Structure 1
Amino acid sequence: MHFLVIPKRHIETLNHLTEDDRELAGHILFTAQRLAREQGCEEGFRVVMNCNELGGQTVYHIHMHVLGLRQLDWPPG
Structure 2
Amino acid sequence: MDAIALLDWLLECDVNAILRVDADRGGVRPWTFHATNGEWSLRVDAFSAEECLEKALKALAAHGLVPSESLT
Flag whether TM exceeds 0.5 (same fold). Answer: no
Instruction: Compute the TM-score of the two structures, normalised by the length of structure 1.
Output: 0.29
**Greater relative CO (CA pairs within 8 A, separation 6+):** 1
**Between structures 1 and 2, the one with greater helix share:** 2
**Between structures 1 and 2, the one with greater strand share:** 2
Instruction: Compute the TM-score of the two structures, normalised by the length of structure 2.
Output: 0.30
In terms of Rg, which structure is larger? 1
